[in-house]
Structures are given as structure tokens and as C-alpha cells.
Structure 1
Amino acid sequence: MSNMDLALKDMMSIDGAVGAAVVDYNSGMALGMLGSSKSLDLQVASAGNTEVMRAKMRTMEQLNLKDDIEDILITLSGQYHIIRPVTGRKSKGLFLYMVLDRSRANLALSRHRLKGIEEDLEV
């Protein structure tokens, strides 16, 4: 099993996980996806969240912020969407994307687990 497959499997083992993807934000393509919901199109979500990632990076550049993005959190009434850039040298240009069922997820614990997965990921 590849490192990416293990990362996706670990992401989906987080309580409340509905979908997970590893996305290339240069192309907007999901390199790997795993989901438990028929109503969540991870291809469309990956492409759309690529625009969120690019917009935030562009804004930080325009503001001359010399800081790193830990994650981007989007809260919906029934879900959490987490975008976490991958910081490893071999994985620059990628982000982890995760959707959580808000009623079943612990946001703080989910973010902590996602950080560990991101740190271990090499693509």
C-alpha cells in the first residue's frame, strides 16, 4: 500500500470522516480520494477547494505575510471542511482535504490527527 493510500485510510479513520483527498493545487486534480458518501463528489470538491487555497495564498502574498498556512477551516451547518497544505519538501504543491460530519466529529482532535498524517505524507 502506498504512502498516499495509508494517509487516506488514516484520514477516513478519524471519527466523523465523510471524505478525504490528496490534491495538487497547481492542477486542481485529486491524486487520491476516499469517501463514504454518495452525495459528496470529491473531484468537484477538490477542484473547488483548489481555488480557495490559491486565493488564500495570493492574498497572503499581496499582504506580504511571511507566515505559513496551518489549515483552512470551512464550517457548514452539518459539516466541517478542512484544507491542510502539505509542507514536506517532496510534497510541495499538495494539500489534504477532509470532510467531517459535524455531529460526530471532534474538530480539535481531527485537526491534530490530520497534522500528524500531513507530516508523515511523502508523495
Structure 2
Amino acid sequence: MAKISLEPLRALDGYIASALVDTESGMLLSGDGTAIDLDLASAGNTEVIRAKRKVASSLKLNDTIEDILISLSKQYHLLRPLESNQNLFLYVVLDRARSNLALARHELRTFEKSVDFS
């Protein structure tokens, strides 16, 4: 896979960092931002995605994860498995005081549709 530019996500209000992550390995495939250790965050958030998928499967929900929101006191962390490739997810960190969560979720969907992740 060619390196995917996450630069368009910088336009999100309150943007801090973003990553494209391989769910199977936990590896950072593409990252933008230096405020956090994206390699460590990618590996850790892969475990969050895996855990939620395991619970959903155990509950026989027969559904897919649209996104996972982790609300911290100063930041939002959004995890969005890709519709086009469930082995990848987008991870975005936003400053909670300067972001619009609903708009950020919408923009992530739009960004995914604009890029070929295959």
C-alpha cells in the first residue's frame, strides 16, 4: 500500500494528531503530528478495537463498529475502522476545548471516501 497522507485531517477544529493503523499487527502505517507517541497509541488502540469486536461477536450483534470515542478531560480520541478495509482504522486526537465532535466524525467519513485504502 502506498503511504497515505493524513494531512487533510489537519483542517479539523482542535486537531492534534492522526494515524492510519493496521488492525492485525497494530502497526502505524501513516501518521501525522508529534504531540503523542503515535506508534505506542496505534498499538494500544488496536487492542481497543479488537476487544470491542470480540465483545460484539460474543453478543452476536451481527454489526460493525462505525467508530469508538474515548473522551478524556482534555482530548477526544476517535477510532474509526474503515468501511472499505476492516483491517485498517483511522485514529484522530482532538483538543476537546477546540473541537466539534459531530463535525469531526462527519469529516472522517468524508476523508475515508476520498482516499483509496485498498
TM category, shorter: over 0.9
User: Does 1:113 pair with 2:107?
Assistant: yes
Q: Deviations over 1:42-69 (max 9, x none)?
A: 1100100000000000111100011121
TM-score normalized by the length of structure 1: 0.89
Paired with 2:7 and 2:83, the residues of 1 have a C-alpha distance of 20
Q: What is the CA–CA distance in structure 2 between the aligned matches of 1:18 and 1:44, rounded to whole Å?
A: 16
Quick one: distance in 2 between partners of 1:35 and 1:97?
12
Identity of aligned residues (%): 49
**1:102 and 2:100 aligned:** no
C-alpha deviation, 1:92, in angstroms:
3.1
Q: Secondary structure at the match of 1:45?
A: helix
User: Over aligned residue pairs, what C-alpha RMSD do you find?
Assistant: 1.3
Q: Distance between the aligned counterparts of 1:114 and 1:3, measured in 2?
A: 18
* Structure 1 stretches of at least 4 aligned residues deviating more than 6 Å after TM superposition: none
User: Which piece of structure 1 moves more, 21-30 or 112-121?
Assistant: 112-121
Q: Unpaired runs of 5+ in structure 2?
A: none
In the alignment, which residue of structure 1 is the partner of 2:4? 4
In the alignment, structure 1 segments of 5+ residues that lack a partner are none
Q: TM-score, normalised by structure 2?
A: 0.93
Q: CA deviation at 1:118?
A: 1.7
> Is residue 2:33 matched to residue 1:35?
yes
- 1:97 is paired with a residue whose SS is strand
